[in-house]
Every structure is written in C-alpha cells, then in structure tokens.
C-alpha cells in the first residue's frame, strides 16, 4: 500500500510539472484546516493585545534625496532694517526635473 501511495504521489508530481511546462497550473496544494494555537503566527492570547495600535509616524525622505549641488542665497543688506542680525541658514531642498536628449550618430564600417 505504501509503495502504491508513493507511486501515485510521484505520478501526480510529474503531471503537475508537465502542466507547468505547458503553461497550465498543477493540482493546488490544499492544507487541512487546523485551529491555530495561541501565540503562534502572531496570534495574541487576549483581545486587548490584539487591538493595540502602534503610533504611525511619517518618515523624512530628505535623507534619501541625493544632493547634486549647494547654493547660498544672499540677501541685500541695504533692504533690511539696521538692527537686523544674521541667525544662520535655513536648509531647503528644491527638486527640479530636467529632460534632455542624447542623440548619437554611429558610423558603422561596412
């Protein structure tokens, strides 16, 4: 009986492989329904632990943007009040999109 079961399983595997080569699907692998044990696969034992939400915070994308160049924008000091003072720079990242062509004429030897 065991040899017969093994032979049938091997035949089914070979049929599935042939069907996959032909572009079809093989027999689906259906697992039996079993109740999951508590604590397995992320299951929690109490309703309170399952319902806890985590605080979501949006992460900054500025560290992922590559900076190509830096420019310093200077103010005209004559247009400012005389009691104004310099307090440093405020970093601002500006993104721009450039589209350009790269046409190449190739001379092939014949």
Spell out the per-residue pLDDT of the chain, length 110, in tens.
889 999 999 998 898 888 888 888 767 778 888 776 555 555 556 777 677 777 888 888 877 888 888 888 888 888 999 899 888 888 888 888 888 887 888 888 87
- pTM listed for this prediction: 0.35
d(CA 79, CA 90): 19
Which secondary-structure segment (H or E) carries 4? helix 2-21
d(CA 72, CA 77): 15
With tokens 């049929």, the residue in question is 15
């Amino acid at each position: 009986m065991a040899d017969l079961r093994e032979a049938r399983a091997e035949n089914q595997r070979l049929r599935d492989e042939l069907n996959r080569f032909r572009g079809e699907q093989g027999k689906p692998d259906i697992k039996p329904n079993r109740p999951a044990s508590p604590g397995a696969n992320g299951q929690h034992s109490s309703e309170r632990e399952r319902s806890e939400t985590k605080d979501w915070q949006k992460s900054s994308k500025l560290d992922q943007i590559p900076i190509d160049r830096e420019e310093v924008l200077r103010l005209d000091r004559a247009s400012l009040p005389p009691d104004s003072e310099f307090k440093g720079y405020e970093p601002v990242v500006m993104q721009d999109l450039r589209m350009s062509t790269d046409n190449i004429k190739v001379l092939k030897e014949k």
